[in-house]
Amino acid sequence: MAIRRVMEGETLHLYDDEEKILSMQESQFNEHTIKIVLEGALTSLVVHDFLDELTALTYLGLDLVIDFEKVTYLSSGCTQVLIDIQQKMDAQSKGQLLLRKMPDSLMREMESTGASELLDVE
> What CATH number is attached to the domain comprising 88?
3.30.750.24
Residue 9 in domain: no
**CA-CA distance, 83 to 50, in Å (whole number)?**
12
| Encoded amino acid at 7, one letter | M
| Domains contained in the chain, number | 1
Does residue 14 sit within a domain?
no
* 18 is a domain residue: no
CA angle 116, 78, 93 (to 5 degrees): 65
pLDDT at residue 2, as a whole number: 83
In this structure, is residue 13 part of a structural domain?
no
- The domain of 43 spans 24-121
Pick from 53, 52, 114, 103: which is nearest to 79 by CA? 114
Q: Count CB-CB contacts under 10 A for residue 65.
A: 20
Q: Specify the pLDDT at position 83.
A: 96
In a domain, 72, yes or no: yes
- The angle formed by the CA atoms of residues 107, 87 and 15, to the nearest 5 degrees, is 60
Would residue 5 count as lying in a domain? Answer: no
One pLDDT digit (tens) per residue for the chain, 122 residues? 689 999 999 999 999 988 999 999 999 888 899 999 999 999 999 999 999 999 999 988 899 999 999 999 999 999 999 999 999 999 988 899 999 999 999 999 999 999 999 999 98
Please count the CA atoms within 13 angstroms of the CA of 78 that sit on its side-chain side: 24
pLDDT in the model for residue 76 = 94
- Assess contact for 10 and 33: CB atoms under 8 A: no
